[in-house]
Amino acid sequence: MFTKQVILKTITQILLHLIFWCGVLLFFTYFFGFESNDDSYILSFSLFLMPVTITTTYVSIYKLIPGYLVQKRYFLFGVYTVYTLIISGYLIMVSVFFGLAFLSEFEYNKMSPLSRNLFFVMIAVYLVVIIVSAFKLLKLNLKHTEKTKKLETKILETQLKLKEQELNYLKMQIHPHFLFNTLNTMYGFALKKADETPEMILKLSNLLDYLLYQVDKPFVLLTEEINHIKDYIELEKMRFNDTLNVNFKCDTIFETTKIAPMLLLPFIENSFKHGSLKNGVLTIHINLSSNKDAIDFYIENTQSKQEKTDNGIGLQNMQKRLDLLYKNKYTLTIDDTTAFFKVHLKLNNN
């Protein structure tokens, strides 16, 4: 169904084509009128060349270029181009004969100087064809470039959405067993009506708020991450009682340093999950320092030879998240020995 917009566009294109071919006709009359005063002959000869020029041009821009050249069907493009040149060359020869026979009555001297020469006539016709074909090729190339850019933009947007989804998934990789164990510990404290119960509930509430809501932010202050790490450690201390020895050392923390939320906490949670009691105590050492350019994080926990851990899915997910957020701006070293499991992370904030 033709809409008003489509009809208007079609009319505009037709008018532009008519204006262009009128310009070509003026070019022919000027070109073949060189050293000739017979305006009637020049106009008639130019008009007779117009169908040949128009047909050859349209065959080139609507069939040969889009149908064969752009499609990289080079052999067929070459064959049909040769056919087109042979046919158009024959018609140009007929035009020259027309000028000699009908316009100058077989009197060679009455023909305009340039129309006598088949070479110059071909130059005039094929010059128009070449210019229009080059313009068409440029237009198709620009259209293809624009289409490619749009496709690349869509691909990038899709990749970005996938990365955002993956990032959101990786942010939530703190293990549910922590919440389950903490709630069990709180239940035990509540039964005993222990004084620590309200404080434990408050710390868990703050931590859950951080996990559920603050994690959506791209970056948070490092001091905020540290506060929640401390809450996490305090909750684990209540659960482990006297079987836990945690040494959390923060040195020269730069106040304005920012970090992706929940980036360090999973490493600490991993130490509690996979760490083993040694001489009846799970020992964890954590060192954290920062300046305006970098963050240095180190954690180690005891483990037994029999329960030596592998990197597992948790650490793989953490590394994926680091790749997404700090690609080429971090170093992660994992040292898995029979007695200790050590992680050293350096982040470049520049």
- Tell me the per-residue pLDDT of 80-115, one tens digit each, with 9 for 90 and over: 999 999 999 999 888 888 777 777 766 666 677 787
Best-predicted range by mean pLDDT (125-134, 181-190, 318-327): 125-134
pLDDT classification of 148: cutoffs 50, 70, 90: confident
Q: What is the mean pLDDT of the chain?
A: 83
**Does 211 have pLDDT greater than 60?**
yes
Q: Are 65 and 74 in contact (CB under 8 A)?
A: no
Cα–Cα distance for residue pair 76/64, rounded to 1 Å = 9
Question: Residue 200 has what pLDDT?
Answer: 79
Which helix (H) or strand (E) segment holds residue 161: the answer is: helix 118-171
Q: Is the pLDDT of residue 307 over 80?
A: no
- Where is average pLDDT lowest: 141-150, 266-275, 312-321? 312-321
Q: Is this model's pTM higher than 0.75 or not?
A: no
How far are the Cα atoms of 111, 134, 144 from residue 139, in angstroms, in the given order?
39, 9, 9
User: What pLDDT sits at residue 82?
Assistant: 94
CATH superfamily of 172-348: Histidine kinase-like ATPase, C-terminal domain (3.30.565.10)
- Cα 79 to the chain's mean position, in Å? 40
Per-residue model confidence (pLDDT) at position 125? 92
One-letter identity of residue 177:
H
Write down the domain spans for the chain. 4-156, 172-348
- 234 CB contacts (<8 Å, ≥6 apart)? 203
**Are residues 299 and 271 in contact, defined by beta-carbon separation less than 8 angstroms?**
yes
Task: Pick the more confident residue, 292 or 22.
Answer: 22
Decide: 175 and 269 in contact? Cβ < 8 Å: yes
Q: What is the pLDDT of residue 169?
A: 58
d(CA 118, CA 95): 9
Q: How many Å from the N-terminal Cα to the C-terminal Cα in the chain?
A: 58
248: β partners: 286
List of residues 6+ apart from 228 with CB closer than 8 A? 206, 207, 210, 265
Q: Binning pLDDT at 50, 70 and 90, where does residue 236 land?
A: confident
Give the pLDDT score at 183.
Answer: 77
- Distance CA(36)–CA(23), nearest Å, equals 20
Q: What is the mean pLDDT of residues 141-170?
A: 75
